[in-house]
Amino acid sequence: MVVAPATANIIAKMAGGLADDLVSTLALSAAEILIAPAMNTRMWLAEATQANVATLTGRGVHVVGPAEGRLACGDTGPGRMAEPEDILAAVARILLGT
């Protein structure tokens, strides 16, 4: 399963084991998950978001990004979703077991 963009909200839901929408419900049953975080820099750097990502990676969830650059809100910094080709490369690595 690929979650792109992975917002702070869906990352928190996944870390908490919530299943109140299609994405979070599917995430509870997926064998392999890759998230591509995308959010405002302050949201990405927030202690809660970092703890949620740590929880997910501790459960074996793969993460690609975020990249740095211009964000949808107009700010510049970390939080930009990884480029599609980087996400695809991460999927290939997961599927190939490398």
Percent of the chain clearing pLDDT 70 (strictly above): 100
| Cβ-based neighbour number of residue 52 at 10 Å | 20
The 10 Å CB-count burial string (b at 16+, else e) for 12-31 is bbbbeeeeeeebbeebeeee
Report pLDDT digits (tens) over 15-59: 999 999 999 999 999 999 999 999 999 999 999 999 999 999 999
Q: What is the pTM of this model?
A: 0.94
Could you give the CA distance from residue 36 to residue 76 in angstroms, rounded to a whole number?
18
Could you give the CA distance from residue 29 to residue 33 in angstroms, rounded to a whole number?
10
**CATH 3.40.50.1950, applies to 2-96:** yes
Catalytic residue numbers read: 73
